[in-house]
Structures are given as structure tokens and as C-alpha cells.
Structure 1
Amino acid sequence: MRWRSFVAVGDSFTEGMDDPYPQGGVYRGWADLVATRLAAEVGPDFRYANLAIRGRLFPGVVAEQVPAALAMRPDLISFAAGGNDMLRRNFDMGVLIERFLKVIAELRGGGADVILFRFSDAWVTRLPGSRITLPRGNQLNQAVEQAAEATGATLVNLNHDEAFHHPLMWSVDRLHLSELGHRRVAGHVLNALGVGCDEEWLLVPPRPERTPWLAARASDLRWAGRYLAPWVKRRLTGRSSGDFISAKRPTLAPVEQERQA
């Protein structure tokens, strides 16, 4: 095993929302699961840091997390950012694409292996305004694929997995992955690294029964009140869900045994 240290960089996808640990009020997510599996392979010398913070835009991730990750000189870095940017009205795809390749080249230039993600279209099509966000998402994903090819980064293509269109892969907020979704991402990452994962992480549960029309519309209204309205309010006031949130694992440290379950 050539990876003795792993640093995860990004936003809520990498922080682990919405996959909470049973205790402690901290999110687990795919990156913690990957770290746990790598630690089991390497032993007690393995170190892991997770710098990701929910709501972070691409410039914030690059300015705050990338220098910190490079300073740790890890063997492996995961990078996932840009999803929050493309939901903003003033999103500039050209600028992001240009910066994306430079950032990945910088991470690779530090000597680390890098993991990148081509996200599933299921994420965008679940949200309002998909006529605008889906083309943006496709452009962002193309930039990710080009960066992986140009730099030799490992690409995890989640769009090849139709299981992410399964509703149980997503949390009730329709934006973040559920526990099942995070385990599936972790499985794909470990397989891409050639490590292998628990087969149960890639099992697809039966689809739930179709919700009657009236019940579905009532659910949409509850969702809009609980999740969409606060999101819109934050956009209008210039606030972020990540305000006052710190990285859950800001330094390289062993993976705690009590959290491996």
C-alpha cells in the first residue's frame, strides 16, 4: 500500500452530509469510510485529514484548503468543488474551468496522487432549475475529466452508476447523499484505487413504492418550506451553511477506532 496519508478537500459532499455518526453530531461520509479502509490496510501509521466544509465555493476551497493540504504533503488527496458555484446566478464557468486544471496540476505537482469526481446527473436533475444547472454540471464534469486526463489524476465517474438515480441514495433535503449514497461513493473510490470495499456498500435496495400524486405534492411543499426557503434566504443575504463551521479533521491524525463502525 503506497498511501500512508490521505487529505480530503472540498465542500459538503466530502464533509459527509447527510451521513451522521451515531454519536457526536459529526458527519461521517464517504471520505471517512475510505480512510478507515486504507487505515486497515496500512496499520496505525496511517494518517487522515478532512478539510472539507459545507457550502464552500470553489475559490474558498482553493484559497483555504488547497495550501493546507499541500503543506501536509500527503500521499493521497481527494478534490471535489464547484457544485455550489454552479447553483449561483453569477456563476462564471469559463473562469472555474481555467482554474480547475491549474489547481489539480498544483496538487499533482506536490507529489500526491489525486482523486477527482465526475458527478452523477441525478444530483442536478433532482433540484429545481435543472434546465440551467444540468448544462452547467455537464461543463463542470467535462473540466474534471480533462483535468484527470491531463494530470494523471484518478477519476471516479459516478455518472456511470445508475444506482444514484435511486431515491434512497439521497437524504431528505434532496441535495446531499444519504448513508447509502456515501457508502456507494466510498465503494467506487476504493475500487478505483484498487483496494476493494465491503460488497454490501454496493448493494442496491428495492425501490420504494411510487408516491401518489397528492402525497408527493404535499411532500414537495414540506421540502420547500424546510430546505428550499432557507437556502434562498441564505443566497439573498450572502450567507452560507458553512459560516462558523470548522473542518472536522484539520490535521493529519490516526483514524479513531471508535468511529470505524
Structure 2
Amino acid sequence: MAKGEKKRALRGRAGRMKGGRGSGRATAGHVRLWGRHPVEAALMNPERKHRKLWATREGIDSLNGELPPDFPIEFAEVTDLARLVAKDAPHQGLVLECEPLEGRFLDELATGDPAHPVVVLDQVTDPHNVGAILRSAAAFGAACIVTQDRHAPPESGVLAKSASGALETVPWVRVVNLARALDELAEAGYWRIGLAGEAETTLAEALPAGPVALVLGAEGEGMRQNIAAHCDALARLPISSAIESLNVSNAAAIALYATVTREGSDVTSI
């Protein structure tokens, strides 16, 4: 059956959104994602368990690939979907409710490959920033991101939209104790570099040829003292004095690029 015919058949099976209204909140224990890239990536992720998709016909047509047979879907108008998501959220005609992803373990992912750095976030709480860091981590081939299970945002539509699909492709490790996780990374052979604007050494000077874990602190406050003490080196990005600091997601993107393109490393591709 051709792609267009499959979608027409899917339309025939789908129901209509009852009453054209939604609560605006996900069912307890579930996550609500919106926008073409986050929804499409979640639908393609075999590790993601889905509950229901609400969509406009144009939203369905925008998807690449096909939905599984008998996938639970309800068609709705744009204004109806707006009631299912955060205010003014750019849902692009697609809203997916699903279960959170299963937790991942650091020892599975920190394999010591110099081509795939680890990103450690110390109390970075803004979902826009974490989403953007996930997107950069995907672009530059990071092995995973690591956060505390507390003091970090949960999976959400806002975070997934900022990640533009990377929430489904970059492993996210949540740990109880971030300092202990840094110790585990050291035991696995990673050189732990904390980004700090006051450091004398630049990131380029601090980068070794081997595996690297980049550690970034909270928006505005930076790394906590205990986390900085668990780094092998502190380094700064050599930015102009015209600006005091960079947003944490911008700093992460620059640091990842510098890491995977450093001289003297055996990294040949991302």
C-alpha cells in the first residue's frame, strides 16, 4: 500500500477528539510531547511506550514514516490541540502522550571512547537549556548526559521541543550522587573538565587526547564547590570581555565542538 493510501486508511480508523477539549495535563505517570520533530522521534523510538496521539490531518501528513497498525489516534482541530499543551506551545498539529523513557546506567554508556564525550550537568534546571544541550550532544556524538535525579528537569514537552528529537537519541543518565558519578567516570578513564569562567586555563589547553567528561554548572551560579573539587581540571572558554558569560547551552555546544575536533586526539569523525 502506498504511503498516501496508508495515511488515508489510518484516517478512516481514527476517532474524533470528544467534545474538542482536553485537560491540558498529561495523565499521571505519562509525558505529553508536541511538535513534529519531538513527536516523530518518539514514534520512531522503539524504547518509547506510547499511549495516544492527537493530531490534525496536516500534522499526520507531515510525519515521515508510518504509524503502527491500530495506533491510538484522535483527530482534532488546531484550537483543540492548544488545550492539551502549554500555553502558546508550537504543537504543529501533533500531541503525543507516552511513558517516560526507562532509566539508563552510567557504566553501560561510559565506555571510554574519546570520540564520544560525556556531558555532566550540575543542577541545570531550565528545560530549555537541558533540551538544547541534548540537541548539541546529539550533533557532536556525546555518549550521554548525566544529571542528578533531583535538581534537574523531568521529561516534558518543553524540554523535548528544545531538544528537537534528541531526547529520543541521546541517553540520559540520572544519578543520586553526582560526585560519585564523577568518581566512576575517573575510574573509567575519563578526564573530567569543569567549565568555569574564572579558570586560568582555556578549554583547548586542558583537553587531553583521551576520553573527556565535560562538567557544566547551573545557570548563573556555576558548579558547586564539591563538584568542582571532583574535576581533574577547570577550564574557561576564551570569550571576549565584552560579555560576562555564555548561556550554559551555548557553552556546552562550544565545548563539545572543541572536544571532538581537538588536535592530537584520535577522533576522526563524529
The alignment's TM-score, normalised by the length of structure 1, stands at 0.29
* Larger RCO, structure (CA 8 Å, separation 6 or more): 1
TM-score w.r.t. the length of structure 2 is 0.28
Higher strand share: 2
